[in-house]
Chain A
Amino acid sequence: MNLLSEAIDWLFAAERLSGSSPVPLRIGEHLLYTFVAVLVAAVIAVPLGYLIGHTGRGRELAVGLSGAARALPSFGLIILLVLLVGVVRAPLAAVISFVILAIPSILAGAYAGFEAVDRRTIDAARAIGMTEWQILWKVEVPLGLPLLISGLRSAVLQVVATVTLAAYVGLGGLGLYIIAGLALRQFDQMLGAALLIAALALVLDALFAGLERVVVPAGVSVGRKGFRPTSNRRRAVMETSIESGRG
């Protein structure tokens, strides 16, 4: 209880804004890494997922690879990539590992979104004279959007939690407080930063929930219940606190 109030005191101390390591800067770094990683992952995974979903080919391979990738230990992956890519290019290595972690959810969201479209709807679209390209853009993409957004949402949460580890290879972000706090045994700082990361994750999640409402076509949500992979998201948030506790 004492620790919690100390953590809150740490969070709201004046140095958080003016000190040598201001919180807004660290949040900015944290968000930058998150968005760059998710963006790059989306550029790779969305077209690939659409291709798999539209043709129905390569699904087994995608499921297998996604499953395997989800099981990758994020910390080990970062260290391995830093060693492979070189310590000088640590930011690159970190971003690559975040991208690898983000791809499975986005890929699954993209192809699951296409697979969820009623085959009869696609057949009808073809029968009235849509080209394959038009079926893709006018039918499959809008109807697959809810699941794609869900996939992006879990990817963002997974990455925002994992970016904490970037500090370990000297890249800043909110994890920096935790790593530094661990070395100095400043538990108020560690807990304060962990709370901050959890809050950031919740804010991003709320943003995506809003986005889902805005972009999902009305006719789709009228008839269908929203898809929420909560277990995955909760796990991502929980991992933050567990891993930050361990350092």
Chain B
Amino acid sequence: MIEFRSVTKRFPDGTVAVDDFSLVLPSHKTTVLVGSSGSGKTTLLRMVNRMVDPSSGSIEIDGEDTSTLEPVALRRRIGYVMQNSGLLPHLKVLDNVATVPVLNGVPRREARQQALTLLDTVGLDRALADRYPSQLSGGQQQRVGVARGLAADPNILLMDEPFGAVDPIVRDELQQELIRLQRELGKTVVFVTHDIDEAFLLGDQVVILEQGGRIAQVGSPTEIMEAPASDFVASFIGADRGKRALSIRKTEHGFILVDGEGRAAGVLVGTADAG
């Protein structure tokens, strides 16, 4: 469990990125921080592994105040996946994945062996192990990034817009992979995105942020869609534009769902039990 307690971050130039932010991120669940630029979502994420230190307030991981922990040791037990993969260009794929275990003192042979298994886990062909990052596609690089994030078997995985720079088809694939992985591994995932569809797809808990890290609404995707807390939230999730306000229309051959502007959005196949 990660807990933010009245966290404020003021940068030296005077901008307040996060103002009095409090939130509990439950263990083994995916929490998605979603907001536009300037909402402080990345700052919040980077405060978890002390890449950014709060100006006031505290962050606890399983009851332990992170400010008492050594940053390097803390970062090594938290997985980190970033946009554009952040792989080391001069290391082969396998050595990139094995980086953190090697830093932690695992013998290189053993670390590379584990890294091979991790390539399987993230759905990469083992034949790519000896390639360099620049020889991979953007989607493959992101998979390597995820494998590296998982290499030290961390409880927490931080993901900073990891699928922001890949094309929509690959993004869709990667999102499905992440859902599958999360079902198998049950990590505490903190995921940052500006894409509300991605947030609703991946998040158990979705946090919609306004400027300066103010929480507009926290809840499950269902709760947020059922009852947007404000006009800002309604507009952010697209309810006001009718994108999510679907209605049933009878046609000659059956029923379809249409959005607020009357365009076909899907078909009705039955009723799902609320999960």
Contact = CB atoms under 8 A, between A and B. Distances in A.
Interface stretch (A20-28, A34-42, A121-129, A192-200): A121-129
Contact of A222 (B75, B99, B134): B134
A128 B99 contact: yes
Given A219-B90, A219-B91, A128 B84 contact: no
Contacts of B82: 120, 123-124, 127
A146 to B, nearest CB: 10
A142 to B, nearest CB: 5
B73 A129 contact: yes
Main secondary structure on A side of the interface with B: helix
Nearest to B104: A129
Nearest to A123: B86
B132 A134 contact: no
A129 B49 CA distance: 9
A222 B73 CA distance: 33
Interface residues of A, number: 23
B88 A121 contact: yes
Which residue among A121, A128, A129, A139 has the maximum number of chain B CB atoms within 10 Å of its CB?
A: A128
Contacts of B148: 128
B49 A120 contact: no
Interface string A97-120: 000000000000000000000101
Contacts of A220: 89-90
A219 B100 contact: no
Nearest to A138: B88
A134 B82 CA distance: 20
A142 B72 CA distance: 22
Contacts of A218: 90, 132
Nearest to B46: A127
A217 B75 contact: no
B10 interface: no
A142 B89 CA distance: 10
Interface of B: 46, 49, 51, 72-76, 80, 82, 84-92, 99-100, 103, 132-135, 148-149
Interface of A: 118, 120-121, 123-131, 134, 138-139, 142-143, 217-220, 222-223
4 closest A-B pairs (Cβ-Cβ)? A124-B86, A219-B132, A129-B76, A223-B134
13 contacts: A120-B82, A121-B87, A121-B88, A124-B82, A128-B99, A128-B100, A128-B103, A128-B148, A129-B75, A130-B72, A130-B103, A139-B88, A143-B89
